[in-house]
Amino acid sequence: MGEIVRLDPALDALLPKDAGLEVLASGLDWSEGPVWSDELDALLFSDVPQNVVYKWKEGDGLSEYLRPSGYTGPLPYSREQGSNGLVFDAKGGLISCEHGDRRLSILRTKGGGKQTLADNFEGKRFNSPNDACVDRAGHIYFTDPPYGLPKGPGDTDTREIPWNGVYGIAPDGKVTLLVKDMTFPNGIALSPDEKTLYVAQSDGRAAIWKAFPLRPDGTAGEPRVLADVTEMMKTMKGAPDGLKVDAKGNLWATGPGGVHIMTPEGKLLGRIDTKMPTGNCCFGGKNRDWLYICADAFICRIRVTAN
C-alpha cells in the first residue's frame, strides 16, 4: 500500500530504507484520532461517522472498545457525529474530542463513565472539538472546527460560536481562547520542549501548518507559517489534518499526498504517500518504533526510528 517519497537523505535516520506500509485493518468509514495505550498494549482510534472507538491489538486484531464514542443524542445527527481526536492524560485517562456532544470528555482508568472536561466557551457551546494534545503540566490544547455540526461548515442553525477556535483548558478547568482567526483549525501538537504549538489548517484555499510560540501563561504568540501545501491539494488527495511530533522535534503531519515528515523549521524531508486521504497518525509500540496511520478506510503502520 502506497510508497515512500524520499526528498532528503536525513529521512533515512527517521524512516528505514526498507520500511513499507503494513495494512492492519480495513472496511472502516473514516478512521481518525489514533492513540497508543501502554496499559492495553494496543492502538485505539475513532471511526467518526460510525460513532465508535476501536481497539487494534497485535494477535487479536480489531474489536470495539467504546460505543457510542462522541454522540449520545437522538439520531440522525450528522455525518461526522462520533469522537475524533483521542489523547491520554498523565494518569491514563482517555480524553476524547466529541463531535456530536460538542465537548471534551475524559474516561478514567477506574471506569464509572465519562466526565465532561469542557463543552462551552463563555456559555456558548463549542462547534465540534476535533483534536487535542496535553502538556506535562496537564494543560489541554484543542481545535474546534465545524465539521461535526449537523450541516457541517455551513450550519447556522445549531452553531453558537461564529469562529473556529483553538482553545486551552487549564488543570483547574478554565477555558481560554488562544486563536480565533484560523479558518479551519484541525490537527494539533506540541514541540518536545512544549514551547511551540503546531496547528494544521484544512482549508483548500490556504492549506497550511502554523507554529505558535507559547508564553509562560499558556497563551499563544504571533505564529509563523511552517509549510504551505495549497498547490498540492489541487493534484493530491487529502488536506492538512492530524499530526504528531517525534522526540527530535520533527513533525509527522497528514496532508495532501499522505504523511509529510518535516523538520521544526518546516523543511520537507519526505512523505509516506498512502494514495488516499489520510486523517491522522501516532507513534506506538513499546519502543514507539511504529507509526500508526489512519488512512480513510484503513489502519496501517510503518516501522520508524524517530523516537
13, 18, 20, 24 alpha-carbon torsion, rounded to 10°:
-100
What pLDDT was estimated at residue 217?
83
Residue ranges, the chain, pLDDT below 50: none
Using CB atoms within 10 A of its CB, is residue 214 exposed (0-12), middle (13-18) or buried (19+)?
Answer: buried
What pLDDT was estimated at residue 111?
74
What pLDDT was estimated at residue 109?
82
Q: Say if residues 95 and 86 touch (Cβ distance below 8 Å).
A: yes
In the block, residue with C-alpha cell 507559547: 214
CATH, domain range 3-303 = 2.120.10.30
What pLDDT was estimated at residue 293?
98
What pLDDT was estimated at residue 112?
80
Q: Residue 15 has what DSSP assignment?
A: S
CA–CA dist 34, 293 (Å, integer)? 8
CA–CA dist 120, 280 (Å, integer)? 25
Q: List the grid coordinates of 210.
A: 502554523
Q: Residue 59 — left, alpha, or beta (φ > 0 → left; ψ -120 to 50 → alpha)?
A: left
0.95 exceeded by the pTM?
yes
143-194 residue pLDDT tens: 999 999 999 999 999 999 999 999 999 999 999 999 999 999 999 999 999 9
Those residues whose C-beta lies under 8 Å from the C-beta of residue 247, and which sit 6 or more positions away, are 192, 288, 306, 307
The SS3 assignment for 303 reads strand
- The DSSP string of 109-146 is TT-S-EEEEE-EETTEE-S----EEE-TTS-EEEEE-S
The residue type at 168: G
What pLDDT was estimated at residue 307?
79
Nearest to 59 by CA among 30, 24, 89, 92: 24
